[in-house]
Structure 1
Amino acid sequence: MNTTEQSQQARLLTPNELALLIKVFREMRQWSQEQLAAISGLNVRTIQRAEKGGPASLDTRRALARAFEFEDIDALSKPFTIPTEDELKAAKEKFDRENITLTATPLTTGKQLAKLAESCTMDLSEPAFALTREADEAFATLVDYFRDYRDCADAYMEMQKFEVYDEMQSGIDTLRALGVSLCYAIRKVQVKWGMGSDTKPMPATVLYVVAFPLGKEPEQFATPKSGGIRL
């Protein structure tokens, strides 16, 4: 067995190797430590300790595996084939091919959201972390409202829009009171409807409305390039 084969042999991760793995997976997703903590349900200090090579309990490793969407939640506690530098580079390149990184712009006013609804063809709105039931319902209510408005915005007179602004502002304020902040990004895409080979793609504007923990909004976030949307 040569040196390369030995280095790739499955074995338990050392604390330092686990620390590097967590950091790589987190940074590939453009997540901050605070975002990973929110998504995994762990304390930020626990994430920081794990990334410094400190002890990580079985529950911590399982929570991280779930956050990174491992099929086996015990994957980080079992013998692991350590990827080489080239393999890590290839994984990063694959992620970049399959995802696009967008700038996260704060969404703070109802008028701002209404204008975005008027200008977009469709939206992909979702929370970036696990919401409480109350916050989840408030987010869903706001999304349903602005989608309804988007579908019939042309029918509103300018004075009537002020009521829409107020309703959306109320939804945004409710979420902030529940510790949820909204960011948005806009993306121009080509959408192909149907499966026919002769179907031509049509231009569309996609609005991303994403919920983050209040005070922990990122500057960027990554999203799949395709999945119902074709570039």
Structure 2
Amino acid sequence: MDASTNAPQVRLLTPAELAVCIKLFRETRQWSQEQLAAISGLNVRTIQRVEQGLSASFDTRRALAGAFGFEDIDALNKPFTIPTEEGLKAAKDQFDREHVTLTALPLTTGKQLAKLAESCAMDLSEPAFDLTREADEVFAAMVDLFREYRDCADVYSETQKFEIYDEMQAHIEALKALGVSLRYAERKMRVKWGGVPDEDPAPVNVLYVVGFPLGKEPEQFATPRSGGIRF
């Protein structure tokens, strides 16, 4: 077999490849086609044509690169290194070795969040996209409340817990109004406490609470196999 067939290609993106990139860049920012048109200075029909995989002129690619904040506005007019199938498989295998994939379940009520706090020993709670300042503050307040309650849930009476449910519910509804949908996953792990070398790892339940764009929630998400967990 010719070794050159296994080497990465260096070439311009095809119209179909550009279409995938532009749509991904736009949706990640939660922009409509009309918003992208306004930001780029192009008309909506041009944006539609690009996302349909039709040809895009040199100036159109420059305008799109500028709209998405590329430092080099000619980036989309320059050759990219296109990995081979073998390279893609190797990258996927490495990703799978370093990450675990979890099922993303809807988190919709304050009582649900409180019960999850009671059942976990640690968590990783973060948005999966750039939030507005207002949404970021609401998310942070919800996480602070969640962690405070987790640390002292046993001192609350059953009646007092309803106040926590309502406060958590208010944060969840505020996030939804700001375009943020919550998903959660639980994961069993074994960790050592206190750094004692001969101590056997203890089983713990880890909770992930992740914010996604409303209406674009995934069925699964991946997370590193270790690191980043909050006690």
* Fold similarity call, TM over 0.5: yes
**Number of corresponding residues:** 213
1:128 maps to which residue? 128
| Letter paired with 2:165 | Y
| Letter paired with 2:61 | S
| Letter paired with 1:92 | K
- Answer whether contact 2:9 2:84 (CA < 8 A) is retained: no
Unaligned runs of 5+ in 2: 37-46
1:141 maps to which residue? 141
CA displacement, residues 75-98 of structure 1 (integer Å, 9 cap, x when unaligned): 765433321111111111111111
Q: Secondary structure at the match of 1:227?
A: coil
Q: Does 1:216 align with 2:216?
A: yes
CA displacement, residues 30-49 of structure 1 (integer Å, 9 cap, x when unaligned): xxx77x64434554798997
Q: Secondary structure at the match of 1:10?
A: strand
**How far does residue 10 in structure 1 lie from its aligned partner after superposition?**
2.9
Q: CA RMSD of the aligned region, Å? A: 3.6
2:88 maps to which residue? 88
2:181 maps to which residue? 181
Q: Distance in 2 between matches of 1:210 and 1:120?
A: 15
Q: Secondary structure at the match of 1:222?
A: strand
What are the equivalent positions in structure 2 for 1:143-222 lying under 5 Å apart? Answer: 143-192=143-192, 198=198, 200-222=200-222
- Answer whether contact 1:16 1:53 (CA < 8 A) is retained: yes
Q: Distance in 2 between matches of 1:189 and 1:124?
A: 13
- CA gap of 1:194–1:37, structure 2 versus 1, over 3 A, is farther
- Answer whether contact 2:110 2:169 (CA < 8 A) is retained: yes
CA displacement, residues 11-66 of structure 1 (integer Å, 9 cap, x when unaligned): 3333345557x59xxxxxxxxx77x6443455479899767534473464588898
2:53 maps to which residue? 53
Q: Does 1:100 align with 2:100?
A: yes
Greater Rg, structure 1 or structure 2?
A: 2
- Answer whether contact 1:7 1:82 (CA < 8 A) is retained: no
- Answer whether contact 2:123 2:208 (CA < 8 A) is retained: yes
Unaligned runs of 5+ in 1: 24-32, 67-71
Identity %: 64
Q: 2:28 is matched with which residue: 39, 55, 62?
A: 39
